Structure 1
Amino acid sequence: MAGRISSNEVVIDNPSEAIRNYNKGYFGRMVGETLHLHLIEATFLVEIGRVEVERDGKTVTLNELMDMGIKVHPNFEISYLVFRDLRQRGYVVRIPQDGEDGFDLYPRGGAPHSHSPTYLVKAISERSPFLILRISDWINGIGKRKLMLGIADEEGDLTYYSVKFFRMRGKMKEEESYEGNITVMGDRSMVWDEELSKKLQENFIGRTFEENVVQLSLMETAYLVEKGATAMKGNKKLSLKSFIKYAKKIQPDIERRLYAYKDLRSSGLIPKTGFKFGSHFRVYREHIGEGHAPYLVHVIPENYKSTWTEISRAVRLANSVRKQMIFAIAGSGIDYIRIKRMTP
């Protein structure tokens, strides 16, 4: 017996057919002895030949059903690609009944009556904007589930990402203060003070220029001035406020990067420039030389907007050099979000 179109869903009235389709894959929801299918679920069942759908006594084709779905549900075609792929991989995928956008993905072999969903899956087009605030809101709203993003490219291929808040910890003890003079040059600084240079080398701050001489970035200079070192521009001593004002003309986002740098240092981590990897920092958990940097950290504002092409490039590059891609959201506080490629 065929299902029938009712409002914006498909209903199977025959009790035995309803129970059979529900029990074999947990499609739809049972209301008494009838099965109510979302148009995405009905489209999939029509595609694989398990269900026929009628409207006014006439068979509804797959093409017609998809056209109906596109008119009724925003993002229908992208959602269907992700739903279809996960179902073909053998997963139980359910559409939340509370109207929540996305799919509940159950563990392999799991069922709604015996398991809780492992992931909330969001289906996204590669052409959709990447909005970090939206990602953060999604993570905050999923309860005990994890967040999976299924990105459909223009050819319909899918790339999946696991996304979560992430906290890094290291083994480096942060120094409480630094003393000595720092010579501010153009877009960097030099430390000629031998005692201060040795202390910086021990703490992996800056780059050794020659024995007992260290070169610093403007951000590292600001960090050290805040901890007691003295910044000199010619014969003039610069306060932290004056130095930041000077540095912002060269590096407008210095305060945001400094915020993240200080937080990473306070967590026992060693942040170094990540320019060669297209990010702000490469981050070590242990002394440099004892292990590689497992993280790339890119510092962004709360209103950060980008494209999924850029995010894909960043995550793939990080993966190719055995690192994890972390986005540090610097606002009133600082949150870290890890985006990692995955195979469901």
Structure 2
Amino acid sequence: MRDSKNQEKTIVVRKTGTDEYSLVKISNGDVHEFEERGIGDVRDGTMVLRPIELVYLSIIGYRVLIDGNEVGVDELIKEVKSPHALTVYLDMRKRGYFIKPVINGPVDFLVWDKGKSPVNSSPRYMIKIVTEGLGIQVMELLNVLKYSESMGTQLVLALVSSEGVITYYKAFTFRPVKGG
């Protein structure tokens, strides 16, 4: 049985598309609180959440109702397409960073410095997930690096092993100084 504190933390969403949920109601919270923590995106006046964010909310104590039915964390995890993305997302949240998934972009996540709000600051890092054994093509890496630097962010490669262990590597362009 849930205690009254957990009972108050409920989020009601409805599925609106592939990997997309529209917020219907939050009890004991507001949309601004989610925005401040880098959870969801406001689009046309509606808060849109991704499955990975619903998993996180469930883990931190929210009851999640989708289309009127309560859904547990195990069911929510099944909605996440990439287990490696979930591993990285939860690890960065545990470390105290605000992290947002990127949909159909050259990188997987935008990350803000600890203590910086996504509402009034720009991301500091872009994370690209690299799966052990699959690697990344050199040209793809260079293009992602160029994109990250053009946006004024630091590219971080998240190498995820087959056991789910994450190692983070900062990537940057080395510009040699001309000698005299």
Q: TM-score range by the shorter chain?
A: 0.7 to 0.9
What does residue 109 of structure 2 align with?
A: 103
Which of 77, 80, 105 is the matching residue for 1:66?
77
What does residue 80 of structure 1 align with?
A: 86
Residue 113 of structure 1 aligns to which amino acid in structure 2? V
Per the TM alignment, residue 11 of structure 1 is displaced from its structure 2 partner at its CA by 2.4
C-alpha contact (below 8 Å) 1:10/1:37 kept by paired residues: yes
Q: Distance in 2 between matches of 1:53 and 1:24?
A: 22
C-alpha contact (below 8 Å) 1:2/1:52 kept by paired residues: yes
Q: Distance in 2 between matches of 1:20 and 1:51?
A: 19
Which of 162, 166, 169 is the matching residue for 1:161?
169
User: Which runs of 5 or more residues in structure 1 are unaligned?
Assistant: 71-75, 174-344
1:13 aligned counterpart, secondary structure: strand
Q: What fraction of aligned residue pairs are identical, expressed as a percent?
A: 22
Q: 1:3 to 1:9 in 2, by over 3 A?
A: farther
Q: Deviations over 1:35-67 (max 9, x none)?
A: 211111111111222341324x32222222221
Whose RCO is larger (CA < 8 A, sep 6+)? 2
Which of 61, 64, 68 is the matching residue for 1:52?
64
Per the TM alignment, residue 145 of structure 1 is displaced from its structure 2 partner at its CA by 1.2
Q: Distance in 2 between matches of 1:155 and 1:81?
A: 11
TM-score by length of 2: 0.79
What number of residue pairs does the alignment pair up? 165
Q: Distance in 1 between matches of 2:63 and 2:26?
A: 14
Q: Deviations over 1:321-344 (max 9, x none)?
A: xxxxxxxxxxxxxxxxxxxxxxxx
Q: Does 1:92 align with 2:98?
A: yes
C-alpha contact (below 8 Å) 1:46/1:53 kept by paired residues: no
Q: 1:28 to 1:107 in 2, by over 3 A?
A: same
2:168 aligned counterpart, secondary structure: strand
Structure 1: 4+ residue segments shifted above 6 A: none
User: Which runs of 5 or more residues in structure 2 are unaligned?
Assistant: 1-9
C-alpha contact (below 8 Å) 1:79/1:123 kept by paired residues: yes
Which of 49, 54, 58 is the matching residue for 1:42?
54
Q: Distance in 2 between matches of 1:60 and 1:159?
A: 31
Per the TM alignment, residue 141 of structure 1 is displaced from its structure 2 partner at its CA by 1.4
Task: Give the number of the structure whose alpha-carbon radius of gyration is greater.
Answer: 1
Per the TM alignment, residue 21 of structure 1 is displaced from its structure 2 partner at its CA by 4.6
